[in-house]
Amino acid sequence: MTHPPLALDRDGVCDYLAEVWPEAAGSFADGLVELEPGFARFVRRTGPADVRPGGTVSGPTLMHAVDEGGYALVLGHLGPAALAVTSHLSMDFLRRPTTGDLVVDVELLKLGRTQVPMAARVFVDDPGTPPVAVATIVYSRALVAGEG
Amino acid sequence: MTHPPLALDRDGVCDYLAEVWPEAAGSFADGLVELEPGFARFVRRTGPADVRPGGTVSGPTLMHAVDEGGYALVLGHLGPAALAVTSHLSMDFLRRPTTGDLVVDVELLKLGRTQVPMAARVFVDDPGTPPVAVATIVYSRALVAGEG
Amino acid sequence: MTHPPLALDRDGVCDYLAEVWPEAAGSFADGLVELEPGFARFVRRTGPADVRPGGTVSGPTLMHAVDEGGYALVLGHLGPAALAVTSHLSMDFLRRPTTGDLVVDVELLKLGRTQVPMAARVFVDDPGTPPVAVATIVYSRALVAGEG
Amino acid sequence: MTHPPLALDRDGVCDYLAEVWPEAAGSFADGLVELEPGFARFVRRTGPADVRPGGTVSGPTLMHAVDEGGYALVLGHLGPAALAVTSHLSMDFLRRPTTGDLVVDVELLKLGRTQVPMAARVFVDDPGTPPVAVATIVYSRALVAGEG
């Protein structure tokens, strides 16, 4: 499957975020380890605040990481489009994640005119291991603020 | 639809969390405003860290709030069951939430032997307004740790 | 929650379908028992072809019924819009449906410019019993054929 | 990712279905073109009854095909387990499928004790083209009939 070219490369995405969303820019500068047409890999370090009873990384932490990875891929393809928002996320948690860093691989499914659906898989530390979660995430391009 | 009785009431859930998950107990003591058979209402205050460019509460903040509301309802029905984990979450974001407090209404769909599916709606400030998001969330009861 | 008015009432939807999709018109004329702003009730009779080993109505039969109920509500609100298509369906099967007629209640969540999300519940025979399945279904309005 | 071995191979699945579900056996004998550990390919021929206004294969036809492909993979891994039922299906429709045969590729995500989650992609005619839909489907193993 051929993918459309990127509008912004990895550094372009990080520079853009430093400008429009400085609070979040650090986690992208740190975690966006790969960005190419149709694909992004985002690493999210986890700490004690992300852990639930039983020593498992919490579900919301995984969802947050998937949302960040998807946002990076959307910005890469749409260029300066900070107003794109998540319109759908569906996630299946397959295995209790042991504590470790989350590796999120995101694949572009379609660069639609209004909707950008993506598929994501989440691994702990090593993307060669079975995924701990899979997700579908859809970003919605802002045509007119408040509409859609 | 008749619901099974609660195993723990609102204060029982908060006391239990204070014991097993002190880091999270405060947000439940604060936000769990209603808990009855088959239903929980959870309020999550939002702050600057939850806001995205454009003045919208972020998707992960909404997902986190739904996950917390669902967890409270699961504990209410299962009793001391801290090891129950989210096994599925599907969320549709309907309207850009203006900044404000999130009100999450969670309804029990079934108290299954291994799976507890619930339906949730998220409002900003007032549950009489149109929901900003709807979700299905499933918690999985831990039969044996690591299994499922 | 106030809903926008209907563009076509129940008979208008059935007449329109008789014209553009005669193969399907009969099941709507038969099954669309209620259509009002923001809500449709659709009944689908089941027969031996819909049953799986164990005497359960099959999952695809339930999904089909939800899709039909959602389509009726979309046509009611959008008027002659046969080209609207399902863009997302997420369904949780809660209880093994005994054989009987399926009652699908569909609620409009938003009449968006490009996306129309709805929530559905499926009952067997009697909508006063616990639902056998819940679903979120999104129809996409055709802006330009092939786009989206 | 290594997958557990099959309990039944392709012919074993078809023979088993001929015995317990003769009404459906033909479509599997015809369409189950590949079955190996962790993967199934299922082809569903489409006809006039599957087409919607606009010349598009209907959403329920795609869902049905995914459900059949998933069922074949579940039987392959669980062996004679006709009572396994769909417990969740989430599907994103990406492109309007032109009329043609549907090719469904199903991948095992986990062979759980009670839940079997799978990821599926649907193509028209050629699995080398962009998918027209992606899905997550979960089958639930019947521990005790009516329970879960």
Domains of chain D (ranges, CATH numbers): 10-140 (3.10.129.10)
Phi/psi of residue B61, nearest 5 degrees: -65, -40
pLDDT at residue A2, rounded to an integer: 86
Between C3 and B81, the more confident residue is: C3
Which residues of chain A lie closer than 8 angstroms to C90, CB-CB?
A: 90
d(CA D8, CA D79): 5
**Which D residues, 11 through 40, put their C-beta within 8 Å of a C-beta on chain C?**
20-21, 23
C114, C137, C139, best to mutate vs chain A, most A CBs in 10 Å: C114
Mean pLDDT of A16-43: 95
Mean pLDDT of C33-51: 95
DSSP A75-111: HHHHSS-TT-EEEEEEEEE-SPPPSS-EEEEEEE---
Number of cross-chain residue pairs from A and D with Cβ atoms under 8 Å apart? 39
Residue of A nearest to D138 (CA): A92
pLDDT at residue B92, rounded to an integer: 97
pLDDT at residue B99, rounded to an integer: 86
Both tokens of A112, joined, read 């639609």
Range scoring the smallest mean pLDDT among A135-144, C51-60, D96-105, D129-138: A135-144
Which residues of chain B lie closer than 8 angstroms to D115, CB-CB?
A: 87, 114-115, 140, 148
Percent of chain C surpassing pLDDT 70:
95
Nearest Cβ partner for B90 among D90, D114, D148: D90
Residue of B nearest to C129 (CA): B1
Residue of D nearest to A111 (CA): D94
**Which A residues, 49 through 108, put their C-beta within 8 Å of a C-beta on chain D?**
88, 90, 92, 94-95
Mean pLDDT of A81-107: 92
Question: What is the SS3 string spanning chain C?
Answer: CCCCCCCCCHHHHHHHHHHHCHHHHHHHHHHEEEEECCEEEEEECCCHHHEECCCEECHHHHHHHHHHHHHHHHHHHHCCCCCCEEEEEEEEECCCCCCCCEEEEEEECCCCCCEEEEEEEEEECCCCCCCCEEEEEEEECCCCCCCC
Which residues of chain C lie closer than 8 angstroms to A112, CB-CB?
A: 147-148
Between C47 and B89, the more confident residue is: B89
CA distance C1 to chain B (A): 6
Name all chains with 3 or more CB-CB pairs below 8 Å to chain A. B, C, D
Mean pLDDT of D91-104: 94
d(CA C10, CA B25): 51
- Of A112, A113, A108, the residue nearest A136 (C-alpha): A108
Which residues of chain A lie closer than 8 angstroms to D95, CB-CB?
A: 110
3-state class (DSSP) for residue B135: strand
pLDDT at residue A52, rounded to an integer: 84
Q: Do C59 and D67 touch (CB under 8 A)?
A: yes
**Residue B130: which pLDDT band, with cuts at 50, 70 and 90?**
very high
Residue of D nearest to B112 (CA): D148
- Whether pLDDT at C145 is above 70: no
Per-position b or e across B118-144, b if 16+ CB within 10 A of its CB: bbbbbbbeeeeeebbbbbbbbbbbbee
CA distances from B31 to B68, B129, D21, D103 (A): 9, 19, 51, 48
- Whether the CB of C143 is below 8 Å from some CB of chain A: the reply is yes
- Of D99, D34, D29, D106, the residue nearest D65 (C-alpha): D106
Mean pLDDT of A118-146: 88
Tell me the residue type at B35: L
Which residues of chain B lie closer than 8 angstroms to A93, CB-CB?
A: 85-88, 140
CA distance D77 to chain C (A): 18
Between B32 and D55, the more confident residue is: B32
pLDDT at residue D81, rounded to an integer: 79
Which residues of chain B lie closer than 8 angstroms to C94, CB-CB?
A: 109-110, 117
Mean pLDDT of B24-49: 95
Residue with tokens 């393809």: A77
Most confidently predicted of A81-85, A111-115, D10-14, D24-28: D10-14
Determine how many CB atoms are found less than 10 A away from the CB of residue C90.
25
pLDDT at residue B52, rounded to an integer: 84
Number of cross-chain residue pairs from B and C with Cβ atoms under 8 Å apart? 40
Q: Do B148 and D90 touch (CB under 8 A)?
A: no
**Residue A145: which pLDDT band, with cuts at 50, 70 and 90?**
very low
Mean pLDDT of B34-55: 92
Both tokens of D38, joined, read 């962790």
- Whether pLDDT at B146 is above 60: no
| Residue A60 per-residue DSSP state | H
**Residue C144: which pLDDT band, with cuts at 50, 70 and 90?**
very low
**pTM of the complete model:** 0.93
CA distances from A112 to A72, B117, B140, C146, D128 (A): 16, 32, 35, 10, 20
List of residues 6+ apart from D109 with CB closer than 8 A: A92, A94, A131, A134, D117, D118, D119
CA atoms within 13 A of residue D111's CA, in its CB half-sphere: 17
Average pLDDT value for chain D: 92
Nearest Cβ partner for D88 among B88, B114, B147: B88
pLDDT at residue B144, rounded to an integer: 42
Mean pLDDT of A110-114: 91
Name all chains with 3 or more CB-CB pairs below 8 Å to chain B. A, C, D
pLDDT at residue B143, rounded to an integer: 54
E strands of B46-100, at which residues?
A: 51-52, 56-57, 85-93
Q: Do D85 and C60 touch (CB under 8 A)?
A: no
Number of cross-chain residue pairs from A and C with Cβ atoms under 8 Å apart? 28
pLDDT at residue A110, rounded to an integer: 96
How confident is the model over B72-107, as pLDDT tens digits?
999 999 998 777 899 999 999 999 998 899 999 999
Percent of chain D surpassing pLDDT 70:
95
- Of C135, C14, C118, C19, the residue nearest C74 (C-alpha): C118
CA geometry: angle at C117 spanning C114 and C121, to 5°?
A: 160
- Whether pLDDT at A105 is above 50: yes
Mean pLDDT of B26-34: 96
**Residue A14: which pLDDT band, with cuts at 50, 70 and 90?**
very high
Mean pLDDT of D102-121: 96
List of residues 6+ apart from D10 with CB closer than 8 A: D32, D34, D35, D76
Both tokens of C76, joined, read 């009611």
Both tokens of D61, joined, read 């036809």
Q: Do B145 and A96 touch (CB under 8 A)?
A: yes
CA geometry: angle at D61 spanning D107 and D92, to 5°?
A: 55
**Residue D145: which pLDDT band, with cuts at 50, 70 and 90?**
very low
**Residue B147: which pLDDT band, with cuts at 50, 70 and 90?**
very low
- Whether pLDDT at A79 is above 80: yes
d(CA B69, CA B42): 5
